Every structure is written in structure tokens, then in C-alpha cells.
Amino acid sequence: MKWKNLFLIAATIIILGLTAVYVYKNIDSFKRIMDISANQVCVFIVLQFITVAINAVMLLAVLHAYGVRVSFQDGLAYSALNTFLNYISIKGGVVAKGYFLKKIHRFSYTDFAVSMGAMILMHFMVAGITGAGILILIYIMRGNANINLFLVFGVITAVVFSFIKLSAFHNRVGRSENYFLKKLYEIWNSWKILSKNRTVVYGLSFLIFLNFVVYAFRLKYGFHIFYEDVSFLSCMLISILGVLSTFVALTPASLGIREFAVGAGYRLIEGDMLQAVVVTGLDRAVSMILVFSLGAISCVYFLKRN
């Protein structure tokens, strides 16, 4: 077994183990999740469906750039399938989505991998700009802002733009045999292809931003249910961290990783990490109702068409 696989297995076990210990030690706080009402569950499900729909439109936009036409219904099914299978297996959703896009819509594995690399780069680019902009706005409104978070978003923005523009770096890593550098080169190549269509890039940037906004509403509603109201700008900051954490594919659906990212970010700007972790857990637990329902239906739908 390669060292990479051993590392992933070890990292998964450690992260899930630490998550289980954290929940056990704070079990009284997490038990509150069981007390929410049916109406509150419905609100979370509606917000989660909006997220699924946004991801579907993003996929349709990417496929359009490659000349592939897919119905909105299929886009919703791909979005639900991806999220559902990510809970079953690490990267399971991505693998299944790539397989069915190839079999049903003749979208090649190469183009699929290229488009996913570009999407990762775009998420970090929009996240860096949005996060830094929000912190500047908070500073203007309140007279103070967290310098550590500003540095995080500032560095993300600087790294992404430098990565896009430094051609000498691309030529060097393109010749490298290092696994990590080769992956970076593939991501840059994917961006180079997708960025030729400016309309798609602007549209995807807006949709990524909209995804941050919807997740921020989900977190804000969770805080409203359990704790005091938290400002929307604060929720936007931690929502960005939560969305970016989904790209750290070390556990199924980034279980434990997203909770830590949101909790750590909230601790930097508001204070109580446990509150943010509980709210993120609430959002995940309730959203899984929709994810597993639509995901199972989508699996059957695509298997019948395959």
C-alpha cells in the first residue's frame, strides 16, 4: 500500500476519533439538537435544497463551457448524488458523478477532472476576496476586525492570484515528477481552459458567493435557535471557512473537519467554539434528511439510465 493511502487512512481514523471524543465530552450540548421543532427542521431543509440547487446550476454552467447540455433536473440529481455519496465514501460523490457524466452525457473523465480543478481554484479565489472584503467592512463599521482572519483571507487571495499569473512557476512544476506539484499544475491547466470563457467565470463566481451566503443563513438560523443572534457578517466569515473545508477530503463529507473549521473561525471573531460546532452539527444532522432522501432517489435514477 502506498504511503499516500496509509496517510489518508491514518488521518481519517484520527480525525473521526477526535471528533467522537469531542462530542462525547460535550454530549449535553449536542443533545439539544434532538429538541428542535418540525418547523425548524423544515427551514433547514429548504435552505439545504437551495444549496443543492446552486450546486446544480454551477455544474450546468461548467458543462455549458464544454458544450455539454444537461437538464436542470439532471443537474439537481448530480448535485444530490455527489453530496449523498460523499457521506458514504471519501470522494465517492465525485467518482460517481464523473462516471455517470461520462456514461450518460459523454463528458470525458479528463474534462471532468479539469473542470473540478478549476472549480477548486475559483472557490479559493472568491473566498479570499469575499473574506478580506467582509473584514474591511467590519472594520469600517465597528472600528476593529480580527487581524488573523484578515491575514488568512489575504494570503489565500495573494497565493491564488500569484499561482494564476506566475508562468515561470507553471513551467517548473509542469516538468516536476512530484505528486503534489503535478496536481498543482493540473489545477492551473484546468483554470487556463475554463478562464477562456469569461461569462462562465463571472457566473460561477457569483454562484460560489451565493453558496457562501446561503450557508451563512443556515448557520445564523442555527445560532438563533440555540443561542443569541449572531451578526450576518460573522456568519459569512465562518461559512466561507466551512465551505472551503469540504475540499479537505480526509473524512466522509469532511465530517469533523468542517465543524472544526467553523468552530475555530467563530472562536477568532466571537468567542465560543463549542457553540459554533454544535450549530454546524445541527445543520449537518438536519440537512442529511434531504441529502439522503434525494441522494438515494438520484442513485436509482442514474442507475436506470446507465
* pLDDT tens figures, 19-55: 999 999 999 999 999 989 999 999 999 999 999 999 9
**For the residues 178-185, what does the mean pLDDT come to?**
67
Between residues 255 and 179, the one the model is more confident about:
255
Per-residue model confidence (pLDDT) at position 101: 92
For residues 34 and 130, give the distance between their C-alpha atoms in angstroms, rounded to a whole number: 34
pLDDT more than 90, % of the chain: 51
Enumerate residues 6+ apart whose C-beta is below 8 A from 287: 44, 45, 48, 218
- In this structure, is the dihedral angle defined by the CA atoms of residues 205, 83, 257 and 286, taken in order, positive or negative? positive
Q: If you average pLDDT over residues 189-217, what whole number do you get?
A: 88
- Please give the average per-residue pLDDT across 169-190, as a whole number: 65
- Does residue 159 surpass a pLDDT of 80? yes
Q: How confident is the model at residue 111 (pLDDT cuts 50, 70, 90)?
A: confident
212 vs 66, more confident: 212
> What is residue 187's predicted lDDT score, i.e. its pLDDT?
72
What amino acid occupies position 210?
A: L
* Cell output for 99: 462516471
Residue 33: how many CB atoms within 10 A of its CB? 18
Q: Exposed, middle or buried: residue 22 (CB in 10 Å: 0-12, 13-18, 19+)?
A: middle
How far is residue 257 from each of residues 25, 94, 155, measured CA to CA in Å? 18, 18, 21
How many other CB atoms are there within 10 angstroms of residue 172's CB atom?
12
Q: Is 275 helix (H, G, I), strand (E, B) or coil?
A: helix
Per residue in 112-146, pLDDT (tens digit) is: 887 888 888 899 999 999 999 999 998 898 877 78
pLDDT, one tens digit per residue, over 237-289 is 999 999 999 888 778 888 889 999 999 999 988 778 999 999 999 999 999 99
What's the mean pLDDT in 200-210? 93
Residue type, 166: L
What are the Cα distances from residue 210, in Å, to 15, 51, 111, 175, 204?
Answer: 29, 9, 25, 37, 10
CA pair distance 178, 4, nearest whole angstrom: 13
In this prediction, residue 294 carries a pLDDT of 93
Q: Please state, in angstroms and rounded to a whole number, the distance separating the CA atoms of residues 206 and 212.
A: 10
DSSP structure class, residue 228: S
pLDDT in tens, 218-237: 999 999 999 888 889 999 99
